[in-house]
Amino acid sequence: MIWFRALTFIKYLLFSRYGKGHGIHSPFVYDLVSRVFRNKTEPAIVLSIETIRKQLISSPRSIHVDDLGSGSLRMKTSLRKVSDIARYSPVSRKYGNLLASLAREFGRPVILELGTSFGISTMYMAMSCTDTRVFTIEGCRATSEIASDNFRSAGISNIVLINKPFDEVLPEIGREIPAPGLVFIDGNHRKEPLVRYCREISVLSGPKSVIIIDDIHSSPDMEEAWHELRQMEGVSLTIDIYRMGFLFFRKGLSRLNYTVRY
């Protein structure tokens, strides 16, 4: 798996372009890359979240993790140190900043997240877009309890945490929330369920929605899923930044696939 990641990253470096937006013919994509991708998150938000991350990394606790997806590539047992999960699983500060910018741009009327873990990505989105609600779904009780504590510690009130498997929630959540502006999927890193979740969410989504998928090149299975999702009905534009993939459903856009250096 390490060799696979190395090869896919080299391929990404060779073929990715448009790091600052130059050369992009689509006005929508140019604005997204040159403005949204380069926006900065308020320092107070970053400090608050990164302080919580540091506390998790220094935690002596261990918890039993219920993996409902493909499981961790680094941590093979169900009994795991909180510090290890905090070090390897959540999005980094760099991608947390990106999610914050995307939440400000696309996060209304609601944000939907599949895979809360300790809530680092959730907090970046919720604290950067306080006038929306973030519905985040986590199947593991132990990690969701820690996430809930983190949300209280940060004083965040616009997060709705649902501790259930994705398959139980997705068929019902469309009746509870309006079409989400932004969807972030960071759970169950297997092709079949990921493609199925995206198809279900696409039915809930509106023309201005964006689905963001984490770890699209983390395994052959995930890469196959990404290639299939790029062809999904209704998708008008895709962007690959290696760590994440973006699916857009906007009308009037030429069906193009961009690989952007980020």
Count of structural domains within the chain? 1
| Ranges of the chain whose pLDDT falls below 50 | 71-73
- Return phi, psi of residue 197, to 5°: -60, -45
Write b or e for each residue in 104-120: b if 16 or more Cβ atoms lie within 10 A of its Cβ, otherwise e: bbbbbebbbbbbbbbbb
Cβ-proximal residues to 204 (8 Å cutoff; 6+ apart), any chain: 173, 174, 179, 180
What pLDDT is stored for residue 19 in this prediction? 82
What pLDDT is stored for residue 188 in this prediction? 86
- Maximal C-alpha separation, the chain: 52
What pLDDT is stored for residue 69 in this prediction? 55
- What string of DSSP letters covers 48-95? HHHHHHHHHHT---EEE----SS--SS--SSEEEHHHHHHHSSPPHHH
What pLDDT is stored for residue 75 in this prediction? 52
Residue 3, both tokens: 């060799």
Residue 119, both tokens: 């809530």
Q: How far apart are CA 248 and CA 234, in angstroms?
A: 8
Q: Which of 42, 8, 22, 73 is nearest to 241 (CA)?
A: 8
Q: Which of 49, 90, 82 is nearest to 64 (CA)?
A: 82
Terminal alpha carbon distance of the chain: 23
What pLDDT is stored for residue 254 in this prediction? 73
pTM for this entry: 0.94
Domain of 117, CATH number, reads: 3.40.50.150
Beta partners for residue 258, in sequence order: 239
Contact (CB, 8 A) for 129 and 60: no
Structural domain containing residue 158: 2-259
Query: pLDDT digit string (tens) for 32-77?
Result: 999 999 999 999 999 999 999 999 999 999 999 987 655 444 555 7
Q: How far apart are CA 138 and CA 89, in angstroms?
A: 14
Provide the 3-class DSSP secondary structure of residue 180: coil
